[in-house]
Chain A
Amino acid sequence: MKNAVLVYAEVRYGRVHPVSYELTGKARQLADKLETQVSTVIFYDELNTPPEQFFAYGADEVIIVKDDCFHHFNQEIHTNVLSAIIEKEEPQIVLTGATSSGRTVLPAVAGKVNTGLTADCTGLDIEEGTGLLLQTRPAIGGNIMATIKTPNHRPQMSTVRPKTFEVPEKEERTGIVKTFDLTDEMKATRIETLGFEPLDGANENIQEQEVIVAGGKGLKRKEGFELLERLAKLLNGGVGASRPPIEAKWIDYPHQVGLSGKVVSPRLYFAIGISGAVQHIAGMETSDIIVAINKDGDAPIFQLADYAFCGDLYNIVPMMIEAFEKGIKG
């Protein structure tokens, strides 16, 4: 639909990434201000949930592109198809999740259709009067918030951090289902995806955890993570780390939180033996509740924490585990 707010949904092996619902809901709010429509586009070969469910989250239209070529992720085909849809539909805004896929496909689309793109947005709004999209993103390690707009190029495009917006309440709504046909030219690719190996249980995606227990250099040894795992398990959460433990190979890279790892935003974040380098803070500062444990009372992480425990983590963490266990039992 011309001038629509378009959401490029993400599917991995049949599963819709929740950010696609979050953004369809946000797109609804933006479209209402602009008095326009919301289109959600979805590429897949198989899907665990019907694409029509996007109507319930705010879409007026779902554009389906179903083909075997979407079994594995292929950024080149995604770029070709999304660019073609943008040229055909002429949306005024394009949104997608700031995930590894979104952050790979959307810049390529921006280079191809020659428009602006703002990365990792944490706020979106419509400017009064001009109707332009105002995109807010953290800059310089999150110490500054920059608001960016795209005055003359269309579409205005953003990648948005997962969990920035809530998944909206489902509403009873219907809409139009459209299909988009692929051409051989769009499917032509110089990339072959050979396979995907999901992380095992111990390495599950910490970005989807509600609680993260993260450790840093202050743990001093690999075994410290066993203690953190106990706390994480008790709270049904995952284990994270700052950069030094990853470099020391105490724990695998998928656990790294920060600019060179993952940006997370759980409801509860523990920074244990983490001093709080800018690079790490940028990856976790939007967490709801932040608990810091550090023996250095001047550690920068304390400036950011809701709960600052100053002392030896090897005393405090076992105390916490014991108290929580007792508390849970009632």
Chain B
Amino acid sequence: MHIAVLIKQVPDTDNVKLDPETGTMIREGSGTIINPLDLNALEAAVKIKSRIEEECLITTISMGPPSAEYALRESLALGADEAFLLTDRKFAGADSWATSKVISEGLKKAGNFDLILAGEKATDGETGQVGPEVAAMLNIPCSTYISGIEIEQKSVVVTRSLEDGYERQRIKFPCLLTVLSALNNPSMPTLKGKKMSRRAEITKLTAEDIDIRPEELGLKGSPTRVVKVSTPKKTRNTKMYKGSKITEGIKELFDEIKGEQII
């Protein structure tokens, strides 16, 4: 069995603080990490490998700047067998369609996969679109929001955790699954894994190595354009209640929600 895990290197937003004046993120010194849900995807791959009898190879693949190599090294420390980095200046500025195009072509070069796993979305872009788009471009089925995986002979049975309940689906290999944090608890890298990953070779693929037309690349190849970025103004008028003022605050709150007919 050959499993691919899609990895994205993202800013470490978990420890990010907000600027109280502007409400924007203070990004300095936040560093980069593997997108947290991608760690759940990788953990799922490692678990599958340890449970099935047949031989299993785990390949991680990422599109990003040369520095995304660190994220891939970490994936090797966490149990991946090999890693591919799709890196080229021409990839820069790609939206989800153009990103999916590069990743799907990269996957074709990297192997013949039975199963492709990815996080449901990344903490920076937050679109959750690349997984299903890659699957569509590879013409393989895709299931999303996965909180449970059981491997069968030629298929996988998944539990999808949806807004209003749990859905179970059986999907034939090859397929792509996007996973939620409820799926598992990612392991920490082992010392042995860390040592090994430092020496491991990461295969780099550029635009020339994959089968893609120049007009499909990066910003130029992206159907969407960001035309404006704005910082929403803080519109709330925070009223702070402390100590003896709390009773008063509760009364004001009650009057407002009663006035709004919420209560």
> Is A180 an interface residue, CB under 8 A from the partner?
no
The docked-state distance in angstroms from the alpha carbon of A146 to that of B16 is: 20
The docked-state distance in angstroms from the alpha carbon of A150 to that of B97 is: 12
Query: Which residues of chain A are near B231, meaning CB under 8 Å?
Result: 143-145
B23 touches A303 (CB 8 A): yes
For chain A, the count of residues having a C-beta within 8 Å of the partner chain is 93
In this complex, the interface size class of chain B, counting residues with CB under 8 Å from chain A, is: 35 or more
Task: Specify the chain A residue showing the minimal Cβ separation from B18.
Answer: A300
Proximity bits, B202-237, A CB within 8 Å = 1, else 0: 000000000000000000001111111111101011
Task: Specify the chain B residue showing the minimal Cβ separation from A277.
Answer: B14
Q: Which of A192, A198, A310, A327 contacts B254 (CB 8 A)?
A: A327
Q: Considering residues A72, A193, A267, which has the most beta carbons from chain B within 10 angstroms of its beta carbon?
A: A193
> Is B17 an interface residue, CB under 8 A from the partner?
yes
Query: Which residues of chain B are near A189, meaning CB under 8 Å?
Result: 141
A108 touches B262 (CB 8 A): no
Residues from 269 to 321 in A contacting B, C-beta threshold 8 Å: 277-279, 282, 288-291, 297, 300, 302-311, 316, 319-320
Q: Considering residues A112, A140, A235, A282, which has the most beta carbons from chain B within 10 angstroms of its beta carbon?
A: A140
A260 touches B180 (CB 8 A): yes
The verdict on A327 contacting B263 (CB below 8 Å), with A143-B23, A303-B18 known, is yes
Task: Specify the chain A residue showing the minimal Cβ separation from B124.
Answer: A140
B242 touches A194 (CB 8 A): no
B258 touches A140 (CB 8 A): no
A305 touches B222 (CB 8 A): no
> Is A221 an interface residue, CB under 8 A from the partner?
no
The docked-state distance in angstroms from the alpha carbon of A192 to that of B170 is: 5
Proximity bits, B96-124, A CB within 8 Å = 1, else 0: 11001000000000000000000011011
The verdict on A190 contacting B147 (CB below 8 Å), with A145-B229, A303-B234, A324-B254 known, is no
Query: Which residues of chain B are near A277, meaning CB under 8 Å?
Result: 14
> Contacting chain B: which of A22-30, A40-48, A97-105, A167-175?
A97-105
